[in-house]
Amino acid sequence: MRQGRVEVICGSMFSGKTEELIRRMKRAKFAKQKVEIFKPSIDTRYSDEDVVSHEGNSIPSTPVDSSASILLMAGDNEVVGIDEAQFFDPGIVDVCNELAARGVRVIVAGLDLDFQGRPFGPMPALCAIADDVAKQHAICVRCGALAYVSHRTVAGDKQVMLGEKQEYEPLCRHCYEEATGGHRE
């Protein structure tokens, strides 16, 4: 039986999380493994169906409304990718554990922190159960240091607000503190 595992790719926006997920999935495909990638159906920024990186690279995916759908649709795939995991319900943790127990390599990408610098959705729990966690870093647009948070540049206090470079900027801890007046927004 295959050895299952959970790999988490996390970090701020513009850090290359989706790019790394696509790279790993394409390598698995090249190795003739059966793969499937899922994304939350609410993520329609670049495509309704494909997972697309900020750099424009893409891979076909299956949009789903809940984590339970992933378990139902994973079938006999050897590798399952999940993009934008922070948007899924807490059940995504059990889904990843179940798939790994079945011998599936699960590769999950998502924001670890929201725009307020707080842990985002199920990502902390996914990091905790992962066999491997890769923290990606963007570059702070203000000083060039490694960024750690996606700072929202437009008004709004809802945790989930789909956006791009017009709505978010990657900032290091110091520049984020300056931008928010030294407190969480």
Residues 6+ apart with CB under 8 A from 149: 12, 113, 115, 117, 170, 171, 173, 176
Residue pair 75/111 in contact (Cβ under 8 Å)? The answer is no
- Hey, which residues are catalytic here? 84
Rounded Cα distance, 30 and 25, in Å: 9
DSSP state, residue 3: P
Neighbouring-strand partners of residue 171 = 149
**What percent of the chain is helix, strand and coil (3-state, nearest 5)?**
25, 25, 50
Say how many C-beta atoms besides its own lie within 10 A of residue 167's C-beta.
16
